[in-house]
Structure formats: structure tokens, C-alpha cells
Structure 1
Amino acid sequence: MKVHHITYIKAMIASCVTVPENLESELDQTPTPIIPEDKVFEYVPKLDELQESIPCAIIKFNGSTNRNWKNRKHRLATIHRDEGKFFKNAVRNVEQEIKYTIDFWFSDPALDVISSVTDRGILDQCLLYVSSHRNAKTAEGIPFEIRSGMTNVVDDPESPNGYYKLPFEIIFRDGLYTIEEEETLAGVTLEIQEPVRIERK
């Protein structure tokens, strides 16, 4: 799992909020996150820990498709030194399509599964977030693309706990990059020599 992917996913989860109904006017009506930050897991917890944490979210890595591609450069910065001018580039050596599934766990489907235009459930809020944040950059300034995948609702009415799982698939178009510096001719003095005339006898 890549750090900038996890950062993006956590920001998406944090954007999913709910506003309690029938609040009195003098009370704070600030939307609250559906999933608290401390209940977003980057691993699959043990069953008892999972049950105690509901509602919660589990981020799961679903593998990546890797292929060698023509190296692609992204210019990150221009560096000026005494010896000349350099470009700092991120060079993509491998193109990747990386998939994750976020499992949202709830105990009451009426609170989070049902969705409407004015009161959206968590899956619809995630879809809206991705649709408006299709492009992002790493901390180094390297761009990557994001799109949503499959969504679903998994329930087991015969289960004694009655928990609901809402899987949300998210796909990152990214790659493996190396950072390189490229020297330019800026600031370099070129010496031009006069052409040599050759006389034929």
C-alpha cells in the first residue's frame, strides 16, 4: 500500500458526515464524521475488536496490475547551481493500476445504507468525493489519477450480530517513479569556432 493512497482514502472517509435530525437551534449543528478517525483500520482486526469498533472502516489492498511502459517524465522543480541549471524530474519506470476495497461496517442499515438526494448514505458520499477529486499529487508533486469501482451491501439476516458490510472499491492509476536530475545548457558558455577552410590543389 502506498502512503499517498492511504492519505487519500482517509480524507475521503473523513468527508463522509451526518447531521442529526431535529437539533435545537441553540445546539451545535456541525456535521460529524460517520466513521471516527480512530476507527479506520489499515489491517483486518480480530473479530472481537471489530465488533467493539463498529461503526468502522477497514482498508484492504486488492492487488495491482503492473506493466512496463515508455518512461514518462514529470518536471518537479528547476534547480539553479553555480555550475548551471538543472531540472528535477520524476521518471515513471512502471505503470500501475492499484485497487483497494474499503469495508464499512455498521449495525443499523437505516442509518447509513439508505440514501437520498438530501440525506446521502456513506457509499454515495464516497462516490461524490471521488468524482470531484479525480486527480491528486503525492507529497513530492507527482500526479496520480483516481476512479471508483464496484459498491455493494453485504448482510446476513441469520447472523446473531446482524452487522452490515458495505464494500467500496477505489482504483488508483499510478506508477513506480525514480527522481532524476537533468542538466540543461542554460548558463553554459558555448565557444563557436570559425570554420576551417580547406584549399584543394
Structure 2
Amino acid sequence: PWTVPGPIGTIMGLGFQPLAFVMLALILVVDFALYYPFFRAYDAQKCTEEAEISQEELAAKNAEKAAKLNDAFQGKADAKSVAAGAAAEAVKAGAPAASAAPATEATATSDLNGKRVLVLCQGGGTSGLLANALAKAAKERGIDLETAAEAYGNHVDMLPDFDLVVLAPQAASYLADLQKDCERVGNKCVACRGKQYIELSQNGDKSLAFVSEQLSK
């Protein structure tokens, strides 16, 4: 069953052959090599942020992020799930809860009102990063954009409810199959590259512009 942990499921699926154990070890090495640069980039960003805030603020921020990630892992990453956190951060900083975007950006993303975006990855966790970034950016700019995060494979019945489906890098190989499903229901889909996905997850303006561009094609 798909719920069997990956390493065990792989070995079972290959009939406990000796080479299965060798292949699993190699896969773990390759996975580490692929994910490590992303981990380092994110770690560097977080270290810079932590150096600029007090320990008390850091503890509060970490608790808030844990709650957001919990929602993301459960596929509940929408604008409402991050609105309170965004407002709290703005109040702590003594700034307005929503920042006014330049006129050009507002024009470019005005077509996002009423749109819904679904982000898919392998397990529903990484997809929450982009879904949260989109939801937070939309909330700050007063855009009525709904987002959700889910694992690929659990998305089929959800497709008709969304205008755009975004594949995280881990699930990019499914793009051809997803395109067929999306053509059937009349919506759009796109796959992201690794560096691009990280950048979109960290930059609200770029993530909104990316979605707007994909929907306009």
C-alpha cells in the first residue's frame, strides 16, 4: 500500500532482493545530494532572520510557523490559515498589516481575484511552502486568491475546483499526465524547477506574478 514507509515499500516491492538494499542506499545518497543545496539556502536565510530578532520574538515566530506547517501538511494552506500570522507579524513590527503594492504590480495581479491555485508535491508538505507564500502575499495585497496544498495522486477529484495546478520540483515528472487531466476539466497546470520553486516560495510578488502569467497563457 502507498502508506508503507518509502524504504520498506521499495524493498518489499522488489521482493527483498539483495540489489534492492543496494539501490535503496544509493537512492538515499542521491536524495541527500539533491536536497542539501535547498536546505543550505533556506538555513542561511533563517539564520539571517534569527540574528535580527530577540529570543522571545524567535520563540513566538517558530510556534507560529509550526502551526502554519501543520496546516500545510494537511492540505489546509489557504489565505485564512496565514492571515492571522501575517497580521501579528505586522503589528509586532509596528507596520500596517497590509502593504500597498506598486500600481504596476496591482494591475498585473488584479486578474487573480476569485482564482484558486492548487500546489502538488509528493507528500503534501513541500507544496505547502508555495501555497502559504501565495496566500500570504494575496492577503497582504487585498487579492481574493485561494490556495491549497496536496500530494500528487490525491488531486484527481479536486481538479475541477481549481483554475491552476502547480507541480513542485519533486512531482515535475508527472506533468504530462497532469496536463491530460487538466485538459479534461478545462484548467491549466505548470511544473516548477528547483531554484525557481525556492524563489517563488520566498518572494510573494514573484509568486503572484508567476500565477498571473500562467493563468493568462
Pairwise same-fold verdict (TM > 0.5): no
Higher RCO structure (Cα 8 Å, ≥6 apart):
1
Q: Would you tell me which structure has more strand in proportion to its own residues?
A: 1
Normalised to the residue count of structure 2, the TM-score between the two structures is: 0.22
Larger Rg belongs to: 1
